[in-house]
A and B are shown apart, each in its own frame.
Chain A
Amino acid sequence: MTAKSDLPQGTLDLLILKVVALGPVHGYAIAQRLQQVSRDVVQVPQGSLYPALHRLENRGLLAADWKDSETGREAKFYRLTRKGRAQLETEAASWQRLTEAVGLILKLSAGGAQ
């Protein structure tokens, strides 16, 4: 197994929002998808996934419906609300800015050592 990284504080919400933005999806699928897309680098602690989902739902960023899943069993599908979409955009943008900035700083220190 490759080395796994712990999620930085607060990023779980952002990742969940992003995955849900792709279309209604149930909790288990979110966990699966996060793991697959990140090529197993991001290991989502399943124990904190559900509380996070419930919290986002409670804040009105996600909405949920009970629908039949691919296996024919009824599952709780989460989808993004309008508010959630706006939140995703601002958070994604700020994440982008942050990582670029961090990248720049890291490069700078490499240059300074030469």
Chain B
Amino acid sequence: MTWWHRLWRRSRLEEQLEKEMRFHLDQHTADLIAQGHDPAEARRQARLALGGEEQVKENCRDARGTRWLEDLWQDFRYAVRTLRQRPGFTAVGALTLALGIGASTAIFSVVNPILFEPLPYPHAGRIMMIWDTYEGVRCDVTFHTYRELAARSRSFEAMAVMEAWRPAMTSATKPERFDGQSVSASYFRALGVSPALGRDFQEADDRFKGSHVTILSDALWRRRFGGDNAIVGRQITLDGDLYIVIGVMPRGFDNVLAPSAELWAPLQYNAGNVTNYESGEWGHHLHMVGRLRPGLGVDQARRELNAIARAKVGEFPRPPFASLEHGLIVNSMQGEITRFVKPVLLSVLGAVMLVLLIASVNVTNLLLARGAQRRGEFAMRAALGAGRPRLIRQLLTESLLLAALGGALGMVVAAFGVEALVALSPAGLPRLGAIAVDSAAFAFAFGITTIAGLLIGLVPALHVSRGYLVAGIQQGSRRTAGGRQFMRRTLVVAEVALTIVLLVSAGLLFRSLARLFAVAPGFDAAHLLTMQVQYNGHRYDDDSARRRFLAQALDAVRRVPGVAAPAFTSLLPLSGDQYGVYGAQFEDGNGYDVFRYAMTPGYCETMGIALRRGRLLDERDTAGAPPAVMISESLAKRQFPGQDPIGRRVHVGPTNRPWYTIVGVVGDVKQGSLADRQTDAAYIAATQSWFADDAMSLVVRVRDDVTAIAPAVKNAIWSVDQDQPIVRVTAMDGLLAASESRRRFAMVVFEAFALVALVLAATGIYGVLSGSVTERMREIGVRAALGASRRDILALVVRQGMRLTGLGVAIGLGGAAAASRALITLLFGVSPLDPVTYLGVIALAAGVAAIACWVPAWRAARVDPSITLRAE
């Protein structure tokens, strides 16, 4: 008989066991009678000789070897029955766990593909990013730096550089601009991916003034070209040029460095003319990646590249601004792309684990309370021969079943949660497309469900079986509840403490965000509409055509009713605009990296940027007029401490052109983010710039609804040239808010979790106090009978609750002080020990706890002594 045979034929085996025992007893009895015993006495002796019949049967069942399985099945059926008998308890427990498991799984689903899973490339761990440094901070490499490193380094199989490329395609409808990348020929090889259709870029494609070729993404190919296989070899028009499509990337290709990129073209920089330091090839605007040779570690590559950086060779001259003398930063690509989100994600993951823990503690408390009610049942089962391990198993089966219910519901919560998280996700969250409740998330959910099931069952199980089984069968149970009450109180204290940690974290983030938004960005974001215009086609190859367009577009926009003071800028604050940083060199030779704003007159007035000294650039500063520049206050302080900068001269960008004379000093503007300290900037007239930018941002004051006026403004620009793609149409205050989306994301998630935790902790306090009041009814009755006023009794219960809360808060504050250190990179202008936050959290926790105490206290105060005392 196989084991499952035995299992399924259990009832027959039981029958046979019974029959065998009966036969034995009858035979023995008969023999004893034959020996002259009285029949009743004979029966008694036979039973005695056998020992406890049920005990023997139990031992026989154990000997069968399938015992555990039979028990499991029995326990399972029993657990189902028990849970069904108390739907309210089951629902509360399962929902609480569902919340915890669901939230954890959702967060895990987001965090896993970003932080834990390798990037979706073969041997992704070997892909590195390489940065030049400026004042210890990462900055993009120049093309010639890349050439030198690629030629001299031996650590990499492939090295590649890339930059954003935003070609426009004009069709019958509105002009469309695509996100793309200009890449060196080795880009896809460095990632380890090749096109699904057609061919990869070759070195021959990436030559100065080479032929126009492009590779499309699968999505673009399907959307614009109907997934036509004949696309390879066809020509498409981009920016007025014909490009030959040479390949299509595979469907699942995840371009993590530029997820929105849909097409790629070779960089085609000029490798010659190295000593022309003013050329674009010497601009710091390329991201660099490299694929390590197998078997080489990051450290080796880091050492090699930095050795190259230190040892200049004649073949590769370097200008001072790309001297590499401060070394290079080499780091894994995964580490680099998750650099900013990692602290957020890890802290959120930590927070959700706290929520899960609190939920589990709450359910444990529920089970403990149930254990009290079921004490008689367990005592009876123990008396009937159930061993202690068996009772523990039974309780664990129940808690696991409850957890499984919670886990199943939790998956629903997780599915919604992931959607909400993705909708809420901060800008620049990498690998957004890979976020899903996938098999890894299921495995995670299964794991935490099992752990939670065991944890929540263990405490009550050990408790139920400890000692008082015998006591339980007696009817004095209410007075022997001390041990369990102690455990429940301990758990409530733990719950409060964990909640405090979450509340403090949420509070600190909230205060940071408030501080950040209190930071003056240096401009007035209200009632500002902005949009970016890009030059499309060869008619704008000529800088004067671009400047003419700007002037005409401004005229057209001015005619739109409801708007005022339009202006263009090459670089828009808090927009994520890159590539706006240039060297500024003063007459004394001092040089700084500054943000370069090339703008039309009136830009500072429109933005509300303050004038500190001198004058603003205006209509006088035309192409023919002497070059003039405004510098930011921070730059003025740095270069001219205690002096008047007006009239001094500076080179912005190339040094082989006439000096710009400083005519004004303006207030500092936050360019990258509100938390930025770098605000050194130079403002020049677009007409006096040494080149006309490819894309310009329009800013315009709007009297009423900012977004409602946007179509009219766009049409005004299109009235000048209908082929100009217009993108990033948004209100300036929207950009301001979005610039802090990482902190906001963390704050929203923390606040949600803290709220859940607070509610759970409050129900925990409430549950323990209610249980305690119920058990102390008699005592309270006696007190009332002896003259305690309602007020006294109210105070008695509230005091008990508040003592627990106080203890929890005290422990929690210690935990929070430790935990807030993990948040430090997310905080701004707030100490991790910010007293306001801590006091606020204490007040909040105390208030909520007081409410949770009040209800049971009020019930206790209404105890009628005559009724309770009579009941005993």
Query: Which residues does A use to contact B, with CB under 8 Å?
Result: 26-28, 31-32, 45-48, 50-52, 54-55, 58, 66, 69, 71, 73-76
Give the one of B50, B55, B62 with max A CB within 10 A: B50
Give the CA-CA distance A27 to B19 in the complex, in Å: 12
Give the CA-CA distance A31 to B27 in the complex, in Å: 11
Given the contacts A46-B50, A47-B52, A71-B27, A27 and B62 also touching, CB distance less than 8 Å:
no
Cross-chain contact of A26 among B16, B23, B59, B65 (Cβ < 8 A): B23
Give the CA-CA distance A45 to B48 in the complex, in Å: 11
Is there an interface contact between A50 and B21, defined as CB atoms closer than 8 Å? yes
Q: Which residues of B contact A48 (CB under 8 A)?
A: 59
Show 17 residue pairs from A and B whose CB-CB distance is below 8 angstroms, ordered by the A residue: A28-B23, A32-B31, A45-B51, A46-B49, A47-B51, A47-B52, A48-B59, A50-B24, A50-B60, A51-B60, A51-B62, A54-B60, A58-B63, A58-B64, A58-B65, A74-B19, A75-B20
Q: Which partner residue on chain A sits nearest B61 by CB separation? A: A54
Is there an interface contact between B51 and A46, defined as CB atoms closer than 8 Å? yes
B547 at the interface (CB under 8 A from A): no
Encode contact with A along B54-71: 1 for CB under 8 Å, 0 otherwise. Answer: 011001101111000000
| Contacts between chains A and B (CB distance < 8 A), count | 57
Give the CA-CA distance A27 to B20 in the complex, in Å: 8
Give the CA-CA distance A47 to B52 in the complex, in Å: 8
Give the CA-CA distance A52 to B60 in the complex, in Å: 8
Is there an interface contact between A75 and B23, defined as CB atoms closer than 8 Å? yes
Q: Which residues of A contact B65 (CB under 8 A)?
A: 58
Give the CA-CA distance A11 to B261 in the complex, in Å: 80
Q: Which residues of A contact B20 (CB under 8 A)?
A: 27, 50, 75-76
B28 at the interface (CB under 8 A from A): yes
Is there an interface contact between A50 and B19, defined as CB atoms closer than 8 Å? no
Among all A-B residue pairs, the 6 with the closest Cβ atoms: A47-B51, A51-B59, A54-B63, A55-B63, A28-B27, A54-B60
B48 to chain A: closest CB distance in Å?
10
B842 to chain A: closest CB distance in Å?
62
Q: Which partner residue on chain B sits nearest A54 by CB separation? A: B63
Q: Which residues of B contact A27 (CB under 8 A)?
A: 20, 23-24
Give the CA-CA distance A47 to B53 in the complex, in Å: 8
Give the CA-CA distance A73 to B22 in the complex, in Å: 11
Give the CA-CA distance A44 to B527 in the complex, in Å: 99
Q: Which residues of A contact B63 (CB under 8 A)?
A: 51-52, 54-55, 58
Q: Which residues of B contact A47 (CB under 8 A)?
A: 50-52, 55-56, 59
Is there an interface contact between B23 and A76, defined as CB atoms closer than 8 Å? yes
Give the CA-CA distance A51 to B49 in the complex, in Å: 15
Query: Which residues does B use to contact A, with CB under 8 Å?
Result: 16, 19-21, 23-24, 26-28, 30-31, 49-52, 55-56, 59-60, 62-65
Give the CA-CA distance A66 to B17 in the complex, in Å: 12
Give the CA-CA distance A67 to B60 in the complex, in Å: 21
Give the CA-CA distance A30 to B539 in the complex, in Å: 111
Give the one of B20, B30, B52, B56 with max A CB within 10 A: B20
Q: Which partner residue on chain A sits nearest B28 by CB separation? A: A28
B597 to chain A: closest CB distance in Å?
87
Is there an interface contact between B27 and A51, defined as CB atoms closer than 8 Å? no
Q: Which residues of B contact A52 (CB under 8 A)?
A: 63
Cross-chain contact of B19 among A45, A46, A76 (Cβ < 8 A): A76
Q: Which residues of B contact A26 (CB under 8 A)?
A: 23
Q: Which partner residue on chain B sits nearest A27 by CB separation? A: B24
Describe A's contact surface by its main secondary structure. Answer: helix
Give the CA-CA distance A66 to B16 in the complex, in Å: 9
Give the CA-CA distance A15 to B354 in the complex, in Å: 60
Q: Which residues of B contact A50 (CB under 8 A)?
A: 20-21, 24, 56, 59-60
Give the one of B27, B56, B59 with max A CB within 10 A: B27
B60 to chain A: closest CB distance in Å?
5
Q: Which partner residue on chain A sits nearest B48 by CB separation? A: A46
Q: Which residues of B contact A71 (CB under 8 A)?
A: 27, 30
A46 to chain B: closest CB distance in Å?
5
Give the CA-CA distance A95 to B691 in the complex, in Å: 104
Q: Which residues of B contact A58 (CB under 8 A)?
A: 63-65
Give the CA-CA distance A54 to B62 in the complex, in Å: 9
Q: Which residues of A contact B26 (CB under 8 A)?
A: 73
A27 to chain B: closest CB distance in Å?
6
Is there an interface contact between A28 and B64, defined as CB atoms closer than 8 Å? no
Q: Which residues of A contact B24 (CB under 8 A)?
A: 27-28, 31, 46, 50
> A27-B20, A46-B24, A69-B23 provided; 20 other pairs, C-beta below 8 A?
A26-B23, A28-B27, A28-B28, A46-B50, A46-B51, A47-B52, A47-B55, A47-B56, A50-B60, A51-B59, A51-B62, A54-B63, A69-B27, A71-B27, A71-B30, A73-B26, A75-B23, A76-B16, A76-B19, A76-B23
Q: Which partner residue on chain B sits nearest A55 by CB separation? A: B63
Q: Which partner residue on chain A sits nearest B20 by CB separation? A: A76
Q: Which residues of A contact B21 (CB under 8 A)?
A: 50
Give the CA-CA distance A73 to B56 in the complex, in Å: 22
B52 to chain A: closest CB distance in Å?
7
B357 to chain A: closest CB distance in Å?
44
A56 to chain B: closest CB distance in Å?
9
Give the CA-CA distance A46 to B55 in the complex, in Å: 12
Cross-chain contact of B64 among A31, A54, A66 (Cβ < 8 A): A54
Q: Which partner residue on chain A sits nearest B30 by CB separation? A: A71
Q: Which residues of B contact A69 (CB under 8 A)?
A: 23, 27
Q: Which residues of B contact A74 (CB under 8 A)?
A: 19, 23
B299 to chain A: closest CB distance in Å?
59
Q: Which residues of A contact B59 (CB under 8 A)?
A: 47-48, 50-51
Q: Which residues of B contact A45 (CB under 8 A)?
A: 51
Give the CA-CA distance A74 to B23 in the complex, in Å: 8
Give the CA-CA distance A50 to B31 in the complex, in Å: 19
A24 to chain B: closest CB distance in Å?
14
Q: Which partner residue on chain B sits nearest A56 by CB separation? A: B63
Give the CA-CA distance A69 to B19 in the complex, in Å: 13
Q: Which residues of A contact B60 (CB under 8 A)?
A: 50-51, 54
B408 to chain A: closest CB distance in Å?
37
B655 to chain A: closest CB distance in Å?
94
Q: Which partner residue on chain A sits nearest B65 by CB separation? A: A58
Q: Which residues of A contact B16 (CB under 8 A)?
A: 66, 76
Give the one of B24, B49, B52, B65 with max A CB within 10 A: B24
A44 to chain B: closest CB distance in Å?
10
A85 to chain B: closest CB distance in Å?
20
A55 to chain B: closest CB distance in Å?
4
Is there an interface contact between B23 and A51, defined as CB atoms closer than 8 Å? no
Q: Which partner residue on chain A sits nearest B52 by CB separation? A: A47
Give the CA-CA distance A47 to B23 in the complex, in Å: 14
Give the CA-CA distance A26 to B21 in the complex, in Å: 11
Q: Which residues of A contact B49 (CB under 8 A)?
A: 46
Q: Which residues of B contact A66 (CB under 8 A)?
A: 16
Q: Which residues of A contact B55 (CB under 8 A)?
A: 47
Give the CA-CA distance A50 to B57 in the complex, in Å: 8
Give the one of B21, B50, B63 with max A CB within 10 A: B63
Give the one of B23, B52, B62, B64 with max A CB within 10 A: B23
Give the CA-CA distance A76 to B16 in the complex, in Å: 8
Q: Which residues of A contact B23 (CB under 8 A)?
A: 26-28, 69, 73-76
Give the CA-CA distance A51 to B50 in the complex, in Å: 12
A72 to chain B: closest CB distance in Å?
12
Q: Which partner residue on chain B sits nearest A47 by CB separation? A: B51
A93 to chain B: closest CB distance in Å?
26
Q: Which residues of B contact A76 (CB under 8 A)?
A: 16, 19-20, 23
Q: Which residues of B contact A55 (CB under 8 A)?
A: 63
Q: Which partner residue on chain A sits nearest B22 by CB separation? A: A73
Give the CA-CA distance A58 to B23 in the complex, in Å: 21
Give the CA-CA distance A71 to B27 in the complex, in Å: 9
Give the one of A31, A47, A52 with max B CB within 10 A: A47
Q: Which partner residue on chain B sits nearest A26 by CB separation? A: B23
Give the CA-CA distance A66 to B23 in the complex, in Å: 12
Give the one of A27, A48, A54 with max B CB within 10 A: A54
Given the contacts A58-B63, A73-B23, A76-B23, A51 and B28 also touching, CB distance less than 8 Å:
no
Q: Which residues of A contact B52 (CB under 8 A)?
A: 47
B31 to chain A: closest CB distance in Å?
8
